[in-house]
Structure 1
Amino acid sequence: MTDPLVNHAEASQMQVIERTLDNGLTVCLIPKADFQQTFAMFATKYGSIDNEFELDGKPVRVPDGIAHFLEHKMFEDDEQEVFSQFAEHGASVNAFTTFDETAYYFSGTSDLRENIDTLLNFVQKIYLTDENVEKEKGIIAQEIRMGDDNPDRRVFMDLLSAMYAAHPVRIDIAGSVESIYQIDRETLLKCYHTFYHPSNMMLVIAGGFDPEQVMGWVVENQARKNFPDPVEIKRKYPVEPKAPKTDVSTTVLPVSLSRCLIGWKDTVDGLAKGELLRRELLTGLVLDALFGKTTAFYGELLRDGLIDKAFSWEYELTDQYGYTVVGGNAPRPTELVARVKAHVRDAVSRGIADEDFQRARKKAIGRFLMSLDQVSYVARSYLTYRLRNADFLQTIEVLQGLQLADANERLKEHLSEEQMVVSTVLPKAEAAS
């Protein structure tokens, strides 16, 4: 028997209807009145860091990049051309793999039932042959080589490799050329049947539709299919030291402009259940108060030619890893790093000014409210937070409860020089001088 419908009314004033089906699939519907567009996302809690797990009491270690490899293969079908199927019904489809999830999604304005059926059907069926697996290896290997030569991708992955000594977040999502060629059909099937079971998946649909009708379509689609009993997934992650592996990483590439990222490794030990959203939002306020585009510091760096308008900050947090990244294009990276260090030291000493904290909070609330008009953002954010056991819809409530003292405590705790790492990509000419 399926669970009853649950309605949530949060500060965002959005209605979310959620149901767990008999096969374990979690379905979340977010109806938006007067919207023509609908965005649907079907995801599995399975990403690149899940390369070691336990099945039937036996340890399994699979090659790096296998989650991303599976994402590529899901679009291959022996009966229909997936992209054409969506196009025939006025929708566009795509997918992505992150460190901790793989998601397939479509956007459209018509033929919603047909597109939902196509999304569910192609992801819940896999077509693999030895031949199409071998063919894919060359395609993905080329993608990896291109990533290695991309300065923005390279400076970011070098940063994570410097931060993390053991955790697989340090490994490129696509894996390496060497690991890709170790993948075979049998291993892909093992990972697919383990992680693509409905009980490990979630469907989120946001847009203009009748939620009762859409829920009925999904239930009907799933009732036509048979799934084995779910297996308990025991993921295995190595013990990660608190301190970064190293504090500096430098790479030389044939580029015209240096890239520089400054990062701080966070600790997730002791992260209480329900704490993830609060820590993420609080850290975001700290970073925006220090490095946001409306700060005097940002203006000074821009005026002095140390950054351009691509300079930004980012904070990522899961129950497995967390890190802050600040930076971008950097004509004089050494000087930029020195200025950022001095700025953080001064902020720790003086504390964040109340007006800066209040401005950052107002901006965060404004961004959140504006984002609610983007069904793709709503669906993806709700799904990602839900997979991480957090409630995206509590954003305003959490933001309003944060205090200046919380921000200053978080600043001292997280942005310590002991946890700081610098990754730089230098042009060949500059490195040779």
Structure 2
Amino acid sequence: MEVTKVLNKESYDRLGESIYQTTLANGLRVILMPKAGFHKTFAIMTTDYGAVDNAFVPRDQTEPVRLPDGIAHFLEHKMFEKEDHDAFDLFGQYGASANAFTSFTQTSYLFATTSHLKENLDILLDFVQQPYFTAATVNKEKGIIGQEIKMYDDDPGWQSYFGMIGNLYPKEPLHIDIAGTVDSIAKITADDLYTAYNTFYHPSNMSLVVVGQLDPEETLRWISDNQDHKTFGPASPIRRVPSAQSTPADIPATQTRHLAVTRPRVNLGLRGFDTVPAGRAGLQYSAAISLMFDLLFNDSGDNYLRLYDANIIDDSFGYDFQVQRGAHFAQLTGDTDQPEQFAQELTAILRDAPAQLEAAKPQFVLVKQEAIGRLVGAMNSVEAIANQYDGPLFSGATIFDELAILEDLTFTDLQEASEAFLSASQQTIHTILP
């Protein structure tokens, strides 16, 4: 195979960067980005399968199944352990550090190394593509993950976040903790893991991103050789079972819990009921809403300084906007000694957002430049570049596409996206008290 004929090169001349992409015969999407002058290389292999994907029709079957909550995270844990070795040990032998994580909609396996890239790529591809589960190893893992779940039960930040998510998505699987519960993981069997694996870990549902010190043609040849020695069934569509959908009326306006904390913690959540545009337009939408929150709440703006001076917020205050497969929401959160005023002030600002944004228009260019600066700064991190790859969510957009979209974003774009999101959103306030 002539590698140069199958690699699609996209150059970003102003930044002096290039990305090489292709899809192998088995469906695996490969994205390679050489970084001149970098000693470290970072690789991340991702499947479009996460905590919300518990109900689906298994590959080569016709009837849907409903697997226990937390199974995607459980599967991530079990992938490293094989019959006669642990993948972590193999990475260690070749000087690489490895890890994995599960989100609502994805599971990723990764390593970073300064040498032996070929050997570490083989380890990554092999351990992810060669599952090994037994009743004994599954039962052993239940105790380990059970302790992890209990640890998060005592984490006020985690409980605040999932309390807010639970309010916004009471009927959807998004409200369930990514790790599941002690009771739900107790039901997981080795057969369940194989069912999930065989459905979602086909190469056609996965991507491999490699960034750093590499030669694209040589690296693709290594990856192709590894895949050519393996047999996979034909690709078939993933058939997820749609979940029940909450309505705005299902979302509670407030919820209060008591935990062993020293100060109250408030999380204001906003669920969008508008439709996020498909493809790259969705990335523009996400960038516009994120900039809206920067204009309203960044730490040099009038709102932040006023609330800070009144001791309603402090440096624990933060906000973010997320677009997931099938969901988008914002959160504003922080520790405060005045939880009622915290909620009231943020609610008032959001209610008055059109006028607030118009008043902040002179700061738009500055706020946008700050966002661009953060993005350009991230380009000095091989981890950040690889993790910014959006897979199928935004039509395979990369960090460089995000930069171009952000640079072209206008204040009118921001106003239109903000109006769409805020006018169709539903709010909840989740408070943790001592």
Instruction: Output the aligned Cα RMSD.
Output: 1.9
Of the three residues 169, 191, 199, the one matched with 1:194 is 199
Equivalent positions of 1:26-425 (< 5 A) are: 26-55=29-58, 56-243=61-248, 245-267=251-273, 269=275, 271-352=277-358, 353-382=360-389, 384-392=390-398, 393-416=400-423, 419-425=426-432
Q: 1:114 to 1:350 in 2, by over 3 A?
A: closer
User: 2-side partners of 1:417 and 1:426: how far apart?
Assistant: 30
Bigger mean CA deviation after superposition, 417-426 or 366-375:
417-426
| Kept in 1: contact 2:40–2:212 (CA 8 A) | yes
CA distance in 1, matches of 2:253, 2:28: 43
Q: How far 1:416 moved relative to its partner?
A: 4.9
Q: Report the AA paired with residue 70 of structure 1.
A: L
Mean CA deviation greater in 413-422 or 398-407: 413-422
Could you list the runs of 4 or more consecutive aligned residues of structure 1 that deviate by over 4 angstroms after TM superposition? 385-388
Q: 2:135 is aligned with what amino acid?
A: D
Q: CA deviation at 1:287?
A: 0.5
Percent identity of paired positions between Structure 1 and Structure 2: 36
Contact 1:268–1:319 (8 Å) recurs in 2: no
Report which stretch shifted further, 323-332 or 404-413: 404-413
What SS does structure 1 have at the residue aligned with 2:108? strand
* Equivalent-residue separation in structure 2 for 1:132 and 1:402 (angstroms): 51
Which has the larger displacement, 83-92 or 32-41?
Answer: 83-92
8 Å CA contact 2:255–2:431 kept in 1: the answer is: yes
Q: Using a 3 Å threshold, how does the CA distance of structure 1 residues 51 and 388 change in structure 2: closer, same or farther?
A: farther
Shift of 1:193: 0.9
Gaps of 5+ in 2: none
The one-character-per-residue Cα deviations of 1:16-43 (angstroms, maximum 9, x if unpaired) are 1111111111111011111101000011
Distance 1:270 1:142 in 2: 37
Deviates more, 1:235-244 or 1:275-284: 235-244
Per the alignment, in what secondary structure is the counterpart of residue 415 of structure 1?
A: helix
Across the two proteins, how many residue pairs are aligned to each other?
A: 426
Change (3 A) 1:405 1:242: farther
Supply the distance in 2 between the matched residues of 1:198 and 1:272 (Cα, whole angstroms).
23
> Aligned-pair distance for 1:12?
4.6
Cα distance in 2 between the residues matched to 1:41 and 1:337: 39
Q: Distance in 2 between matches of 1:388 and 1:48?
A: 20
* Alpha-carbon distance in structure 2 between the residues aligned to 1:390 and 1:259: 37
* CA–CA distance in structure 1, aligned partners of residues 235 and 293 of structure 2: 41
Runs of at least 5 residues in structure 1 that lack an aligned partner in the other structure:
428-433
Instruction: Tell me, in whole angstroms, the C-alpha distance in 2 between the residues paired with 1:12 and 1:233.
Output: 37
Q: Helix, strand or coil: the match of 2:152?
A: helix
What one-letter code is carried by the residue in structure 2 that aligns with 1:221?
N
Determine if contact 1:194/1:231 at 8 Å carries over to the other structure.
Answer: no
Deviations 1:290-345 (A, max 9, x none): 11122122122222222221211111113400000111222221111111122223
Residue 103 of structure 1 deviates from its aligned partner by: 0.3
Instruction: Please state how far the C-alpha of 1:95 moved relative to its aligned partner.
Output: 0.3
Amino acid of the structure 2 residue aligned with 1:211: P
Q: 1:86 to 1:161 in 2, by over 3 A?
A: same
Structure 1 residues 327 and 245 mapped into 2: Cα distance closer, same or farther (>3 Å)?
Answer: same
Q: Is residue 163–residue 247 contact of structure 1 (8 Å, CA) maintained in 2? A: no
Does the CA contact (< 8 Å) of 1:12 and 1:369 recur in 2?
no
Write the distance in 1 (CA, Å) between the matches of 2:44 and 2:416.
Answer: 37
> What is the aligned counterpart of 1:16 among 9, 16, 19?
19
Tell me, what secondary structure is at the counterpart of 1:40? strand
Q: Distance in 2 between matches of 1:299 and 1:157?
A: 28
Residues 262-287 of structure 1: CA deviation (Å, up to 9, x unaligned):
11101253633432201110001100
Distance (whole Å) between structure 2 residues aligned to residue 21 and residue 272 of structure 1: 25
Q: Which amino acid aligns with 2:8?
A: V
Amino acid at match of 1:285: L
The alpha carbon displacement at 1:390 in A equals 4.3
CA drift at 1:350: 4.6
TM-score (norm 1): 0.94
- Does the C-alpha gap of structure 1 residues 274 and 388 become closer, same or farther in structure 2, counting only changes over 3 Å? closer
* Alpha-carbon offset, residue 387 of structure 1: 4.9
Q: Return the letter of the residue paired with 2:10.
A: H
Q: Which residue identity is paired with 1:4?
A: V
Match of 1:431 in 2: none
- Alignment match, 1:430: none
User: What CA distance in whole angstroms lies between the structure 1 residues aligned with 2:156 and 2:175?
Assistant: 17
SS at match of 1:126: coil
